[in-house]
Amino acid sequence: MKLLLVAPHYPPRFLGGVELCTQRLAHRFRAQGHDVTVVAVEQLGAAQLPPVTVDIDDDGGVRVLRLSLATPDDDARFDATYRDPHVESWLASWLREERPDVVHLHSGYLLGGAVLAAARATAVPAVVTLHDFWFICPRVTLLHPDRTCCTGPESPLKCAWCLATEQRRYRLPEQVLGRGAALQLARALARPPLSSANGLDQRAGQIDHRSRTLQAALADAAAITAPSRFLRDEMGRAGFPIERIDLLRYGVEPRPAAPPRATDGVALRIGFLGQIAPHKGVHVIVEAMRRLPDASIELVVHGPLTREVEYVDHLRRLAGDDRRIFFPGPIGHDDLDAFLARIDILAVPSVWYENSPFVIHEARAAGLPVLASRLGGMAELVEDGVDGLLATAGSVEAFAAAFDRLVRERDLPARLRTGVRPPPTLDDEARALVALYERVAAREPEAVR
């Protein structure tokens, strides 16, 4: 088949979960003999004309079209975040010339609305994988600027106020009054004559238009998948057709089972692997360690140390002189097996709605138990007391209690290992997607739409 995969960005410059998922699938499809092209954004805000320029390179037999996008005019800037007319025009022309069998949109961030509109205009069936909350949240993450979890996009005004609190003058009333009272204030500010001064009503109207545009665009997709029930259900709560969203778990490469850790004088070694940022909750497990100063535990935190420098400095201050806590920096994929063999359990303490973290799948593939936050899609991947443990998100007490239990019940990590089931493989995921592509490509265009 001739396939076009679209992602917000693409390696090697960008190494987020969506980007790596897209790259892994692109390579797997290429190895299966499919003709694969990827479109992704390489540069935003370029001072250039025309509005879209394209650099073409090769990634192991996968053609990659790297886009540079000019900054849109102020009047069109918000609209361009979800449906850039220049991207739409360029992609429609490319689709008419190349005629792929399927367009597969991974996330909607940066390109989503334009891709779906171009696919509709050219009668190319579009498959969408919902990696995140982009279709229902202008901030993508369902996180408020103060990093607390949002309960969902109940109204455009709520989202407008959330965006406004990225500015300190709006954040202060929320800190003083609380979120509920602050929303009452936002309702007052959104009415004339006050609305003309702060623009909340205008932004609420823009968000309402965004929601309606994307709901219509997603309705035109030939198929929609989500990696977690949580994400699927949140889309349903926001008004999207949940019956059209199929659950399709991520696949990972099979890996050798991590052997039980060799005895080295430490009763419990806990590992963290991933982005070191506030929403990942690393501070929670560092503070939990400090609650157990005499316990024979080590915590090894692997991740980039130069991206969120202030947060890393904060973590180091929290750790203080505790010699049981280590920050050795990022780890290469080739070193992952050795890392998993050195720990008893992997900690995933995120304080936001993770959907289906790859790191949990990687640990499961190695037969390693996971201690995760009881939040979002994480709670679907770990069965508490069977193949891992769940703790209240953001609760230092809950994670400290889990650490303490793992030390006191010396055989608990081994018991949890016996319950770990292997996740789907990348081949499993690729086969399911190719079968889906074949089904939607075989439909008549009017049936797809």
pLDDT at 164: 84
Give 375-424 pLDDT, tens digit per residue: 999 999 999 999 999 999 999 999 999 999 999 999 999 999 999 999 99
What integer pLDDT is reported at residue 447 of this predicted model?
47
The pLDDT score that the predictor gives to residue 366 is: 94
Q: pLDDT, tens digit, for every residue of 122-179? A: 999 999 999 999 999 999 999 988 888 998 888 898 898 888 888 777 666 666 666 6
Q: What is the DSSP string of 99-155?
A: --SEEEEE--TTTHHHHHHHHHHHT--EEEE--SSTTT-TTSSSB-TTSPBP-----
- Residue 304, both tokens: 């980039």
What pLDDT does residue 209 have?
Answer: 94
Whole-model pTM? 0.90
Side chain identity at 54, as an amino acid letter? V
308-354 confidence digits (pLDDT tens)? 999 999 999 999 999 999 999 999 878 999 999 999 999 999 999 99
Give 315's DSSP letter.
H
| CB-based contact 154:238 (threshold 8 Å) | no
Residue 197 has pLDDT above 80, yes or no: no
pLDDT, position 332: 84
> Residue for token digits 């086969």?
431
Give the Cα separation of 400 and 398 in Å (integer).
5
Domain spanning 268-419 has what CATH number? 3.40.50.2000
Beta bridge partners of 246: 225
Over 70: is that where the pLDDT of 446 sits? Answer: no
Q: In the predicted model, is pLDDT for residue 193 greater than 60? A: no
- Given CA atoms 312, 368, 331, 5 in this order, what sign does their dihedral have? negative
Angle between helix axes 358-365 and 17-31 (nearest 10 degrees) is 60
Angle, to 10 degrees, between the axis of helix 282-290 and the axis of helix 396-408?
60
CATH topology match: 2-140+205-251+426-448 vs 268-419: yes
pLDDT of residue 186: 60
What string of DSSP letters covers 378-430?
HHHH--BTTTEEEE-TT-HHHHHHHHHHHHHSTTHHHHHHHH--PPPBHHHHH
Domain boundaries, the chain: 2-140+205-251+426-448, 163-198, 268-419
pLDDT-based confidence at 449, cuts 50/70/90?
very low
Helix (H, G, I), strand (E, B) or coil at 185: helix
Q: Tens digit of pLDDT for each residue in 220-247? A: 999 999 999 999 999 999 989 899 999 9
The fold for domain 2-140+205-251+426-448 equals: Rossmann fold (3.40.50)
Percent of the chain with pLDDT over 90: 74
Distance CA 156, CA 210 (A): 10
Residue 47 has pLDDT above 70, yes or no: no
For the segment 437-446, the average pLDDT, to the nearest whole number, is: 83
Per-residue model confidence (pLDDT) at position 198: 55
Proportion of the chain above pLDDT 70, given as a percent: 90
- Average pLDDT score, the chain: 91
Residue 39 is inside which H or E element, if any? strand 35-46
With bands split at pLDDT 50, 70 and 90, how would you rate the model's confidence at 188?
low
Determine the average pLDDT of the residues in 65-93. 88
| pLDDT grade for 93, boundaries at 50, 70 and 90 | very high
